[in-house]
Structure formats: structure tokens, C-alpha cells
Amino acid sequence: MAETDMDDLIEIIENEGNIDDIPMSIPMMPVRDVVVFIDMLLPLFVGREKSIKAIEESAKSHRYIFLSVQKDSDLENPGPDDVFLVGTVARVQKMLKLPDGRIKALVQGIAKGKIEKFERKRSWFKVKFDILTEEEIDSKPIEIEALMRNVRESSEKILALRGELSGDVGAILEQITSPGKLADLVASNLRLKVDEAQDVLETFDQKKRLEKVNDFLNRELELSTVQAKIQTHVKDEISKTQRDYFLREQVKAIHRELGDGDDKLAEIENYNEKIKKAKMPPECEKEALIQLKRLDQMHSDSSEAAIIRTYIDAILELPWSKSTKDFLDIKKAAEVLDQNHYGLEKVKDRILEYLSVRKLNPAIKGQILCFSGPPGVGKTSLGKAIARAMKRKFVRVSLGGIRDEAEIRGHRRTYIGAMPGRILQGLKQCGSNNPVFMLDEIDKLGNDFRGDPSSALLEALDSEQNSEFSDHYLNMPFDLSQVLFVLTANMTDTIPSALLDRMEIIRIPGYTHEEKEAIARKYLLPRQIKENGLVRRSIHISDNALDTIISEYTLEAGLRELERKIGTVLRKIARQIAEGKKGKFSVTRQKLIKFLGPPIYLPELDQEESQAGLVTGLAWTEVGGEPLYIEVSLCHGKGELSVTGQIGDVMQESARAAFSYTKANMDRFNIDRDDFENKDIHIHVPAGAIPKDGPSAGIAMATALISAFTGRVVNNNVAMTGEISLRGRVLPIGGLKEKALGALRAGIKTVVIPEKNRKDLYEIPQSVKNNIEFICVQELDQVLDIAFVKQDDEPERDQGDGVASEISEDGDSETGCPDDTDNGIASDNEVHCDDDIGRKNDNDVVAGEKEL
């Protein structure tokens, strides 16, 4: 730009012109999407009829026009209320009519104005307005000078980033000394929104207007910096990609000239051959070929090609048509099961039944079995034995602690590092589509914001649906109908009902003392001798020693602790041999203290003799049954009842029901009425650190209360379990088998059970029934008659009344439970499942709690 032109431009900017010549009533034209500032030179294309008439009227007379911005730019015919009142008085410098009827006008802002009145509204707008002038600043403070310098520097930086900076622009900015004119000039060249520009226009204080423009400049500078950085990065990436492409094409051309094979073509042909050999379903093969075609069309080194290649590999590794042939010799399968596990007849029978049905009907679908029982009873090892008996592959997946649904059904391929779920991964590892698939610890599944894994198992564990199991990563159906799913759980209460409904529950109780001895001799001892590097003929553990280890050093339903104790004894012997000692080592009962220390489990001191107010109950836990003692103490007070021992709400209610029954029948039991008003009753359940809940301690609490009030002594050899009603009826309970085994381990000789649990005696092993006398009762009076120690002045109880001591395997009883019609136990056609009780079993407790 020439020096004279520069001076003219600066003069135009610095001088507004003679605003005194502007008429106070001029045409008004609404404008859209642009705010015209003072001294701003702007071309406008006018097409609306009202606007054309307004600018033509202006051109006929004084060439001044009032420009006001529309509030809504979409309005075609705005009214007086649709425009901002503060606008710009502009002069039409040039005007040109276009062939299409529109007008192109070059306008320049002269002054700010505010509309006072609309004088004409119909064919075109004419307004009366006031000129808005600003006070000149003679001496600018340091703050304004700094602000103006910052605005100039920011403007130059933005223009530099846009590639529009020149020396003329810098000179123009330096020559402007008015803060308001500098703000108007910069704002007119910023890409501001209409509302932001109008806000600047309506700010009359020059300093505030410059501050607003400075804020907009800073924002625009940040945006321009990021935009320039992005453009540079994209340009570099495009250049690198183009360079790599040309280099690879040159390498391919060189290989072709040398006669080398095309690796990509060989890879595609190899994949195509593998897909045909996989013998997958037609729809799955079609999808695999589509993905292979996509891979062929992509560059070999692209990230998307790597994802598709991994997906095709995952498809081809699955055993679509690979299966093992079942071993269907029932007798030999029974021998294999007996070799690996002692007892567990019910489980073995169920497996042999499945093999028998499969032999007669090879098309039968895979079963879903769930082994439920305490830890250490052999649930997991039983799954391996099933696989060996059937000669199938074995897969085990531990579900304990899994909280992510994608662990079961896989991840979507859109995620980085996606992979199939654990079910398909297990099938891929074993290479067979009909293995024995063990899902261990199904009751330990969790759920949180990542999903509910138990719900993801619903499809896999449904024999009617799993023939088209859909994994999120695979996104195509896979047949799981030939898989024999075996699940394990310590308790079924935490398993969702919908999932539990899909399983066949096989309950595995704890082992009896005799079973533990047999298993220790046949399995545990030989295995520990081998693991500790010993020779079997040089080790002898006497029967008394093994019996003592079971009864005084372990107290569990399973066998893990017993095997650890045997291992401890053998390690002591291994150390002696390693130190040079020779000969045959014999372990007797007297030497156990040397190997294992003093006995750990002894009968509780309170039960060494019969006492008043102390009753033995029976509790069910997820690790087996065990005795539970109920204590009642009376002291001077106001008749308040307190229950302690960290017990749950259900057990609290049982205690209140027992107390109400005792209070309602005080006259029958010869209890002084004053005792309820002048004494506080305290019921305590020892082992206060262990949570306890359940209703089946009801009769034990009622017996303890009556014993404490009457002073009658309770026989310490009698244990009882049953729910109490307010009428004294004894209601049924659950977990009788586990409780019976716990009573046997504790050395209890007599167990009182509800009459309606009589059918459950069929499930109790004969060895337990040979050592424990089970007595079935219907009313609490019968319980008291059995539990209280007979005094000299009381007649002896008829020993034939309600005793179920001997029950043969076919269900006949030698000494039956009391019944209205028959003294024998229920016949075979009367032995039903636990649901016939007509109520929920009370072993529904939180894991880790002790239930009564």
C-alpha cells in the first residue's frame, strides 16, 4: 500500500466525518448475521423488497441509512420488535443493481445510533434516532496503554497464524490512538457471533469495550493456535502415509521383478482353505468369507487389517466340528468313578444314568449339573473324574470374583484388545465342542456397574437356547448343546433364581467319621506320602491315631484340613529321614502331640455336664453342620428380654416367639408370675463374633427359657432343631442332613427333629442313623419330655414313644416317629423332595453366616 493511500485510510478511520450533516430521520434496513461498526466498509447484497426500497430511498436523498441487526436471522419480514434498537448509521458509497433484481451496495459505518421511533413501517422502514457519541480520552492511563498494546499484539499473532499478516496491517494498528476505534476495528475483523458483536457495539465505555475485545482476541488466538497445530499434524501424516505407500509399492514391484511370491495373496489363500476345512455352519462361513474379503481389500500393515486378521484367527481356532467320542461302557465308567471317589453314590448314579441315556439316545443334549456342598468334599475333582469316565476333554473356569459380563460373553470388536469370553476360550484350548466344562464357584459371582455375569450365563446354561450361543466378540452363533456343564457351589442361596432354575442341583453333604477314615486310608495318605517323597512301607499310622486326627484336630465337613494335618505329620517324618534317621516310622495316638501339638477341638466346657438353662441346638453353615449352644440367664430387673450373640432378625423373632409361648403357658409349667415382672431374661448364643440367623433354634430357645424358669436340668446328650410357633407347634426346618453330620462329629447321641422332617431321614447315611437316635416331635411338650433330665418323683418316659433310631435303606423304621395313623416312617411313595414341607428351607442366609 502506498504511503498516500495509507494516510488516507488512517484519516478515514480516525475521523468519523461530520455527523452534524446526518438527518435525524432516515430509512432503516434490517441486516442479518453481521454487525456494522463505525468506519467499517462492507458490501451488502440486498434482496428483500422492504430493504431494496429503503436503500433506494436513501440513495435518492442524503445517502444515509440506519443499519440494525435482526434478533432472529431466519425471519424474512421482520417488524420493529424483531431488530435491535442500537445500530449503525451508514453511508451508501456505491450502489449497483444486479440482473436478478437485487442490489449490491457498498456501505461505510459513520456513527452509532439508537432508534427512538419508527415513522414508517409498511412498504419500508423509516426511523427517528439519536446519535450516540463517546467522550474523548485526552490522557490514557497505563492500564489502557497496556491493554491497547496487548490487543495489537494478539491481532498480529492471529493474522500470522492465518497467513494474512503484512506490514501495512501493523502500521494501521499502531497509528490508531483511540481505544474505542481500535476495539471497533479489531471486532469488525474477528469472527464473532452476532450476539457477541452486538454486545461490543452496545458497550459505550471505551475501556470496557476494549477489554471485551481483548477477551475475544484471547479466545480466538487459542482456537487459531490449535487449528494451525491440527492442520500441520494432518499435513505431516498425509505426507508420511503417501511416502510409505509409494515405498511399499516399489518394494512389491521389486519382488515381482525378482520372481518372489506375493505374501498377501498366499495369506488370503491359506485363510480361504482353513475356512472351508473348519466345517462351520453356512451363515458363519459366509460371515468369515466376508471378513476375509475385507482383509484382501485392505493394506496389510493397516490397523484395521490387524483387527480383522485376529478375528479370523479366533474363528478358525474354535472347534466347530471337532468332538471326542464318548466312552459308553457303563460298568467300566462306574469303576473309574469308584477309583477316584469314595461314597457319593447319588452323584455317581446320576452320571451313570446320563451315560445310559446317551447310549440309547446319542442325540440327547448336554446336561447342566450343579454340585452343591461344603468346601473340601470333592466337587471339583468329581468333575475331572466324570471327564475321565466319559473319556472327554476337561475344561475348568473359576468364576469366583468375576464381575465383568464381558468375561463370559466376550468384548465387542470395537474395543482395543477385544477377545472372546471364557466359555469360547475354554473350548478353543481343549479343541473339542463336547467337553466336560466345569464352572467352579458359581455362587461367588459378583455384579456391579460393569454388568451382571450371572445373567450372561443364562443363555449358555439353557439346553434349549445354547445351541445358538452368541458371543459378543464372535457375533455369530456357536453350538454349546453337546457340552456337559458341571457347576459347583458351596450354597445355592446366592445364585439368581433364573439361573438356578436351569440347573439340576445335586447336593453333596459332608463326610461321616467312617467315610473320612476310609478316604484318608485309600486316597489322602498315599497321596501325601508320595508328595513328601516318602516310601509307603516305611510309614505306618495307626487306626487310633487317624481317628484322633479326625475327631480332635479337624472339625469340618470336607477333607482339606484332614489332608493338611496328615501332610504335617509326614513332613515331620520326612525331616527326620533327611537328617539321617532310618527305620520304620510308626505314628500312634500318643505321638500325635509331638507331631501336631495338643488337640484343637474339644467338647465345650459348658456341656461337660447337664445344666439348667443350657440347650444344645444345631446350626447349618456353608461349610457343614455344627452344634450351637443356647444359654438363658435370669437376674433381678423389670422383666426385659435381651438377646445377644450377633444374631439376625429372623432369630430375634424366634426368641420373642419362644418367650411369648413361655409367658402364655406359665401356669402349665408352674412358673411364678412375678418372675416375668421382677427378673430380666438374657438369651445368649456363644461365639458372638460369628453372625447367626434362621428360625430353627426356636424350640431350643423355648426349652432353655422353660428350663431357666423352672430349674429343670436339660440333658447334655440331646440336641434339637425346629421352629417354634406361638401355639407350641414344632415346624419343619432345612439342612437336616448337614446338621445330623455336625451332631455326629460333636458326639451327640440324641437329636430331636420336627415330625414333618421325617422324610429327610431317608437321605441320612445308615452309619449316622446307627450312632444317633432321631426323635420326631410335633409339639413342644414332647421336646420337653425328651430334653429334661428325669427327677426321682417323675415317671420314666416310654422309650418307644417317637424314636426313630434305626431306619433301614428301604425306608422302613424299626422304631418309628409318632404319627396320628402310623408309628412307622413314611413309606417309599411318601418320601418326597424338600418342597413338600410347604415352606422355604431356612438355610437361606448370607455367605459366611451360621444358620440355625
pLDDT value, residue 778: 92
Among 471, 463, 271, 474, smallest CA distance to 369 is for 463
Range with the largest mean pLDDT of 3-17, 174-188, 322-336, 801-815: 322-336
CATH topology (fold) of 605-839: Ribosomal Protein S5; domain 2 (3.30.230)
| Percent above pLDDT 70 for the chain | 85
**Exposure of 48 by Cβ count < 10 A (0-12 exposed, 13-18 middle, 19+ buried)?**
middle
Residue 184 grid coordinates: 471497533
Rg (CA), the chain: 47
Report H helices in 532-679: 543-548, 560-578, 592-596, 649-664, 673-678
Q: What is the mean pLDDT of residues 327-356?
A: 82
- How far apart (Å, rounded) are the C-alpha atoms in residues 330 and 787? 49
- How far apart (Å, rounded) are the C-alpha atoms in residues 838 and 701? 24
- How far apart (Å, rounded) are the C-alpha atoms in residues 272 and 296? 11
Q: Which of 739, 756, 759, 769 is catalytic?
A: 739
Helices vs. strands in the chain: H and E counts, helices first:
28, 29
Q: In the predicted model, is pLDDT for residue 415 greater than 70?
A: yes
Name which residue leads in pLDDT, 259 or 676.
Answer: 676
| CA angle centred on 346, ends 341 and 348, rounded to 5° | 45
Indicate the helix (H) or strand (E) that contains 307. helix 303-317
Bridge partners for 380 per DSSP:
none
Question: Which segments are annotated as binding site for ATP?
Answer: 373-380
133 residue type, one letter: T
Q: What is the mean pLDDT of residues 741-757?
A: 86
Q: Are residues 568 and 596 in contact, defined by beta-carbon separation less than 8 angstroms?
A: yes
Indicate the helix (H) or strand (E) that contains 308. helix 303-317
Q: In the predicted model, is pLDDT for residue 460 greater than 50?
A: yes
Q: In the predicted model, is pLDDT for residue 682 greater than 90?
A: yes
Where residue 811 falls among pLDDT bands split at 50, 70, 90?
very low
Fold match between domain 513-596 and domain 605-839: no
User: What crossing angle do the helices spanning 780-787 and 698-710 adopt, rounded to 10°?
Assistant: 60
How many alpha carbons fall within 13 Å on the CB side of residue 852?
Answer: 33
The 3-class SS string of 149-191 reads HHHHHHHHHHHHHHCCCCHHHHHHHHHCCCHHHHHHHHHHHCC
pLDDT value, residue 81: 85
Q: What is the mean pLDDT of residues 795-809?
A: 40
What are the pLDDT digits (tens) for 224-266? 778 777 777 777 777 777 777 777 777 777 766 765 556 677 7
Q: What is the DSSP-derived secondary structure letter of residue 476?
A: S
**CA distances to 188, 331, 340, 377, 428 from 389, in Å:** 88, 10, 10, 19, 22
- How far apart (Å, rounded) are the C-alpha atoms in residues 164 and 153? 14
Where residue 831 falls among pLDDT bands split at 50, 70, 90?
very low
Q: Are residues 739 and 848 in contact, defined by beta-carbon separation less than 8 angstroms?
A: no
Q: What is the DSSP-derived secondary structure letter of residue 194?
A: H
- In 3-state terms, what secondary structure has residue 629? strand
- In 3-state terms, what secondary structure has residue 273? helix
What are the pLDDT digits (tens) for 696-733? 889 999 999 999 989 889 988 899 999 999 999 999 98
- How far apart (Å, rounded) are the C-alpha atoms in residues 379 and 393? 17
Where residue 400 falls among pLDDT bands split at 50, 70, 90?
confident
Q: What is the mean pLDDT of residues 648-667?
A: 90
CATH topology (fold) of 330-507: Rossmann fold (3.40.50)
Q: What is the mean pLDDT of residues 309-322?
A: 87
Q: Are residues 86 and 203 in contact, defined by beta-carbon separation less than 8 angstroms?
A: no
pLDDT value, residue 508: 82
- How far apart (Å, rounded) are the C-alpha atoms in residues 601 and 468? 53
Residue 745 grid coordinates: 462329629
Neighbours of 784 (CB within 10 A): 20
CA 494 from centre of chain: 15
Give the range among 69-83, 257-271, 732-746 with minimum mean pLDDT: 257-271
Q: What is the CATH number of domain 513-596?
A: 1.10.8.60
Q: In the predicted model, is pLDDT for residue 111 greater than 60?
A: yes
- In 3-state terms, what secondary structure has residue 488? strand
Name which residue leads in pLDDT, 392 or 837.
Answer: 392
What are the pLDDT digits (tens) for 503-543? 888 888 778 777 888 888 888 888 888 888 888 888 888 88
User: What crossing angle do the helices spanning 330-340 and 345-360 adopt, rounded to 10°?
Assistant: 150
- How far apart (Å, rounded) are the C-alpha atoms in residues 520 and 82? 96
Q: Are residues 394 and 383 in contact, defined by beta-carbon separation less than 8 angstroms?
A: yes
Task: Decide the pairing of beta strands 469-470 and 730-731.
Answer: unpaired
Q: Are residues 471 and 420 in contact, defined by beta-carbon separation less than 8 angstroms?
A: yes
Q: In the predicted model, is pLDDT for residue 1 greater than 50?
A: no
Neighbours of 682 (CB within 10 A): 18
| Cβ-Cβ contacts under 8 Å for 396 (sequence gap 6 or more) | 380, 383, 438, 440
Q: Are residues 208 and 60 in contact, defined by beta-carbon separation less than 8 angstroms?
A: no
Q: With a threshold of 0.75, does the pTM exceed it?
A: no
Neighbours of 422 (CB within 10 A): 20
Q: What is the mean pLDDT of residues 586-612?
A: 77
Name which residue leads in pLDDT, 689 or 480.
Answer: 480
Backbone torsions φ then ψ of 475, nearest 5 degrees:
60, 35
Give the range among 8-17, 25-34, 787-796, 823-832 with minimum mean pLDDT: 823-832
Q: Which of 188, 372, 696, 813 is catalytic?
A: 696
134 residue type, one letter: E
Q: What is the mean pLDDT of residues 278-296?
A: 85
Q: What is the DSSP-derived secondary structure letter of residue 435?
A: -
pLDDT value, residue 739: 87
- How far apart (Å, rounded) are the C-alpha atoms in residues 696 and 620? 10
pLDDT value, residue 603: 55
DSSP character string of 16-71: ---GGGS-SEEEEEEESS--PPTT-EEEEEE-SHHHHHHHHHHHHTT-EEEEEEBS
What are the pLDDT digits (tens) for 148-177? 887 777 777 777 766 655 556 667 777 777
Give the range among 103-112, 151-160, 226-235, 789-798 with minimum mean pLDDT: 789-798
| Cβ-Cβ contacts under 8 Å for 471 (sequence gap 6 or more) | 409, 410, 420, 421, 423, 424, 478
Q: Pseudo-torsion of CA 77, 80, 84, 87, nearest 10°?
A: 100
Average pLDDT, the chain: 79
Neighbours of 221 (CB within 10 A): 16
CA 695 from centre of chain: 32
Where residue 820 falls among pLDDT bands split at 50, 70, 90?
very low
DSSP character string of 369-421: EEEE--TTSSHHHHHHHHHHHHT--EEEEE-TT---THHHH---TTSTT----
Neighbours of 564 (CB within 10 A): 13
**CA distances to 156, 214, 640 from 207, in Å:** 20, 10, 82
Q: What is the mean pLDDT of residues 432-449?
A: 83
What are the pLDDT digits (tens) for 544-570? 888 888 888 887 878 888 889 999 999
- How far apart (Å, rounded) are the C-alpha atoms in residues 231 and 213? 26
Name the architecture of domain 3-132.
Answer: Roll (2.30)
Question: Among all chains, which residue has been given the C-alpha cell 471326542?
Answer: 324
- How far apart (Å, rounded) are the C-alpha atoms in residues 795 and 44? 122
Backbone torsions φ then ψ of 589, nearest 5 degrees:
-65, -35
Domain boundaries along the sequence of the chain? 3-132, 263-317, 330-507, 513-596, 605-839
Q: Are residues 427 and 395 in contact, defined by beta-carbon separation less than 8 angstroms?
A: yes
Q: Are residues 721 and 739 in contact, defined by beta-carbon separation less than 8 angstroms?
A: yes
pLDDT value, residue 793: 45
Q: What is the mean pLDDT of residues 267-288?
A: 84
Long-range contacts of 196-201 (CB under 8 A, 24+ apart): 197/34, 197/35, 198/35, 198/69, 198/84, 198/86, 200/35, 200/37, 201/35, 201/37, 201/86, 201/87, 201/88, 201/112
Long-range contacts of 793-801 (CB under 8 A, 24+ apart): none
Q: Is 114 a catalytic residue?
A: no
User: What crossing angle do the helices spanning 179-189 and 142-162 adopt, rounded to 10°?
Assistant: 20
Q: Are residues 106 and 43 in contact, defined by beta-carbon separation less than 8 angstroms?
A: yes
Q: In the predicted model, is pLDDT for residue 145 greater than 60?
A: yes
Among 678, 696, 712, smallest CA distance to 793 is for 712
pLDDT value, residue 840: 35
Q: What is the mean pLDDT of residues 641-653?
A: 89
| CA angle centred on 192, ends 91 and 64, rounded to 5° | 10
| Cβ-Cβ contacts under 8 Å for 506 (sequence gap 6 or more) | 346, 347, 350, 369, 370, 371, 372
Q: Is 739 a catalytic residue?
A: yes
Q: What number of residues does the chain have?
A: 852
Q: What is the mean pLDDT of residues 444-449?
A: 72
Q: What is the mean pLDDT of residues 664-671?
A: 88
pLDDT value, residue 544: 87
Where residue 317 falls among pLDDT bands split at 50, 70, 90?
confident
